[in-house]
Chain A
Amino acid sequence: MIVAEPKPIAEVAELIKTGRHVLIVGCGECVTVCQAGGEKEVEVLASALRILWKKEGKDGTIDTQTIVRQCEPEYVAELAKKVKDADIVLSLGCGVGVQFIAEAYPDKWVVPGLNTKFGGGTVKAGVWEERCGFCGDCILHLTGGICPVIRCSKSILNGPCGGSQDGHCEVAKDIPCAWQLIYDRLKGLGRLELLDEIRPPKDWRTSRDGGPRKFVKEEAMIE
């Protein structure tokens, strides 16, 4: 899932300061799971901003709506009625959600309430870690299911480097060395021969180096 974290309330307050009728939009997918922009977080932020406005003597309304997915036009369309009454839409979706709302309502000022961080998962309640770098050319079958592209600080394909110390990355003590993890796992599985092969430089054109990406599935298209 996409992991995001809330922007500080002061920053959000600044983003909506010109508005008098603000609509805060939550998303029922990834940001609900990472507890950054789901229904609950939307209500908490709305309440906090209402208190702030009252305190500043500002007149206005802060409305809320949480939709199933902000990254799909048919759900974004459900916002139409409330968006009409708002002068600023504050999206608590990831960067994708903010853009889909902005595209659907060209005459509205849409601002982000979250900082979108990475593709990751829940390692334990309240903790999310990065796992995928969206490189567009998966090599997890070569590395025992541990991604060196995103979990190695240098993204090296033939690791470990000299900065691997006692299983930790030199960047920070709390980062495990991905190549140590890969070695341990392949050893456990009896597949160490995979490390004998030298991996050539990766073709980054499938990643961001090739510009914005698109995925088309002809048979899924209706028109």
Chain B
Amino acid sequence: MSEVKSRVPDGAEPEFVPKIVAFCCYYCAYSAADLAGSLRLQYPPTIRVIEVPCSGKVDPVILLKAFEEGADGVYVAGCLEGDCHFLKGNFRAKKRVAAVKKILDQIGLDGRRLEMFNLSAAMGTRFAEIAVEMTNRIMELGPSPIRPEAVAARRAAQGEVEPR
């Protein structure tokens, strides 16, 4: 089993704990999350899993709403390409994620805060890896700019002086 480790240091109070919303397809990622649990895999507690009947159910509005409500990162986890239970749902999700990434770039939120992942129900380890990967990415990008208190808190924790 591969070692999954996040940048959130053990024991120490992290400077910033990201809030990440994961839209997980019932047929793959959601079951993979279950498997990750059965395998007692550790992954950061930054992920809020939302079950969807298919990644193709995820609409651009829902992705943006998550950011509007203060999510620091969002990802959609769908079946492996070619394995969608509804044939093309994950391809549709991929296009929508790409479109919303562009919107995020346009409004200065950084498209990297949003990602699409593909996995199967048997990939519990991969599920944990994705959680770590996304947490690390968001740790690097910092809190969402629409949460000024979190941005300020992080700056303070990093010893930066507030710009006047």
Q: Which residues of A contact B (CB under 8 A)?
A: 8-10, 40, 43-44, 47-52, 54-55, 57
Contact = CB atoms under 8 A, between A and B. Distances in A.
Contact of B106 (A9, A47, A50): A9
A40 B65 CA distance: 13
Contacts of B67: 47, 51
Contacts of A10: 106
Interface residues of B, number: 15
A55 B70 CA distance: 11
B113 to A, nearest CB: 11
Interface stretch (B10-18, B21-29, B56-64): B56-64
B111 interface: no
B156 interface: no
Given A9-B107, A44-B103, A52-B107, 18 more contacts: A8-B106, A9-B106, A10-B106, A44-B60, A44-B64, A47-B64, A47-B68, A48-B103, A48-B106, A49-B107, A51-B64, A51-B68, A51-B107, A51-B109, A52-B108, A54-B68, A55-B146, A57-B148
B53 interface: no
6 contacts: A9-B103, A10-B106, A43-B61, A44-B64, A47-B64, A48-B64
A51 B106 contact: no
A161 B111 CA distance: 47
Contacts of A48: 64, 103, 106-107
Given A47-B68, A50-B68, A51-B109, A40 B103 contact: no
A47 B65 contact: yes
A66 to B, nearest CB: 13
B106 A54 contact: no
B61 A51 contact: no
A42 to B, nearest CB: 10
Given A44-B60, A47-B61, A48-B103, A55 B68 contact: no
Interface string B76-120: 000000000000000000000000000100111100000000000
Contacts of A40: 59-61
Nearest to A126: B95
B112 to A, nearest CB: 15
With a 10 A CB-CB cut-off, give which of A48, A50, A52, A55 has the most chain B CB atoms: A48
Contacts of A43: 61
A40 B99 CA distance: 14
A9 B103 CA distance: 8
A80 to B, nearest CB: 26
Contacts of B148: 57
A52 B103 CA distance: 11
Contacts of A50: 68
B145 A55 contact: yes
Contacts of B146: 51, 54-55
A89 to B, nearest CB: 21
Given A44-B64, A47-B65, A50-B68, A55 B59 contact: no
A44 B61 contact: yes
B39 to A, nearest CB: 37
A55 B65 CA distance: 14
B117 to A, nearest CB: 22
A50 B109 CA distance: 12
Nearest to A10: B106
Nearest to A9: B106
